[in-house]
Amino acid sequence: MSKNNILEYIESHKDEFITFFQKLIQTDSYNPPGNEKNLAIEIENYLTQDNLRCDVFEFEHNRANLIAYLHDDFSQKNLLFNGHMDIVPAGNEGDWKYPPLSAHNKRNKYIYGRGAADMKGGLTAMIIALKILKELQFEVNGNLILNAVADEETGGSMGTEWSINEQLKDINVDFAIVGEPTGLNPLPKAIILGERGHLQLKIIANGVSCHASMPNMGKNAIMMLTKLIQHINEIDDRIPEIKPPLSIKELKELISASFPSKDIFERILEDQELLRSLLNSLTTFTKSVTMIEGGIKENVVPDKCECIIDFRLLPRQNPKYIINVLKDLVSDLGLIFNEENEKTGKEPNIQFEIFHESEGSYWEEWRESKPLTNFYEIVENVYKKKPFYLLYPACADAHYLRNTGYCENTILFGPGSAATAHSVDEFIEVEDFLNAIRVYTLFAYEFLK
């Protein structure tokens, strides 16, 4: 048995793999509401044909997590594949070239559909890698665990967090891959070592309404909220200074590894505004006021105004800390902060409502990892281009694995382009999908042999 057996097997089963992938795209797992159980059943049917052990853990209505193993012994090395089953809603289906669940295959080059890139492509490739290792009956000195999770698009506490705290807690995982799309076109494939955290906060100003002709009788909620927004940048000085895990200079060096020379990379960087702002955003704490609403009538002083602020945090910046700093800022501006669970009193006040929060994370020791070097070489051989290491602009479930100490050695790598995720006409290149199968299977074989 060798690498060639794997590559030949993939070549001769291509059509079957593509058909299975299309079937998973066609299976509704929209979140909300979170219909992941539909997908879990399809995966279970596929894997149990090969007598792979597959457990489906149901929760709520039509929701589930799935765990499958190569075999039942976890006493040696363990490799974990993590992929989320849920997909974000398609928005207005009329805007799509092909219906979002049609999995339209265009000239065997592209497959369209919600989740094609984020991340049924990566998930399907992981499922297939497990199946190939079983079918080819390699002798292994370790185990491969597939964790197909729910709830990633809405925070991950019922998916990845639940899985590692409950079903996987006694398994010592040595290396983990999260199959998110890590293509950053027009660059080669990226291998992701960390990502920023995320906090989306709704801020509500509760004032007192009155007639606009006698504004002193009330308290204008729009004025209260805009006062806070005007001073929002002051929180930068109130939070401890945190260095980004990799500086812009270091990030540039990592990316330029994919180019024939540094000069060529610098020239490309000059052309690519998107890449420049990506590098900036990966190394800074940012905030954007993204929505605001207030007022009911042209002659009424409004008693309510609310806005949403989207904060992106560096690894080790805690969302709870940011919230506390904001509370202090509220009182220093002479406004009154109202705890969420307290009932709104008569007094004008400011309330917070957390929409979304997730921590950032980073694998500190990646430079010393032999398996990671091996992974890099496999990607280079399969894709015929040097990949590069980078951080991820969006959030992902990897922070549950890294920050809890469950498995710091976690990377993100998967087929599809990060830019097409969540967008209309989401698609994946068929060859990218097949390459991901090759990479996952070859790496698992090397890691466990």
What residues make contact with Zn ion under the rule CB under 5 A? Answer: 118-119, 180
Q: Tell me whether residue 119 or residue 173 sits nearer to Zn ion (CB atom).
A: 119
Least separation in angstroms between residue 40's CB and Zn ion is 17
Closest listed residue to residue 173, CA positions, set 52, 74, 70: 74
Contacting residues for 70 by C-beta, under 8 A, at least 6 apart = 52, 130, 133, 134, 140, 143, 144, 145
Closest CA to 139 of 449, 399, 395: 449
CA gap 425, 113 in Å, rounded: 7
Which value, to the nearest 10 degrees, does the dihedral of the CA atoms of residues 91, 97, 99, 101 take?
A: -80
Asked about 236 being catalytic, the answer comes back as no
Nearest approach, Cβ of 422 to Zn ion (angstroms)? 8
Report DSSP state, residue 355.
E
> Pick from 241, 231, 239, 234: which is nearest to 320 by CA?
239
Give least dist CB 87 to Zn ion, A. 8
d(CA 390, CA 192): 5
* Minimal distance, residue 114 CB to Zn ion, in Å: 12
Helix axes 121-135, 430-448, angle to 10 degrees: 50
CB 118 → Zn ion: shortest distance, Å?
4
Nearer to Zn ion, 119 or 246 (CB): 119
Q: Which residue lies nearer to Zn ion by CB, 119 or 129?
A: 119
Residue 307 CB, shortest distance to Zn ion, in Å, is 27
DSSP state letters, 381-398: HHHTS--EEEEESS--TH
**Cβ-proximal residues to 4 (8 Å cutoff; 6+ apart), any chain:** none
Q: Is 174 a catalytic residue?
A: no
Complex with Zn ion: residue 145 or 396, whichever CB lies closer: 396
Q: Cβ-closest residue to Zn ion?
A: 118
Of the residues 36, 42, 44, 86, only one is catalytic, namely 86
The helix or strand, by DSSP H or E, that contains position 129, with its residue range, turns out to be: helix 121-135
Nearer to Zn ion, 322 or 439 (CB): 439
Q: Which is nearer to Zn ion, 180 or 195 (CB)?
A: 180
Helices (H), 49-120: none
Q: Considering 152, 397, 429, 432, which one is annotated as catalytic? A: 152
The catalytic residues are 86, 152
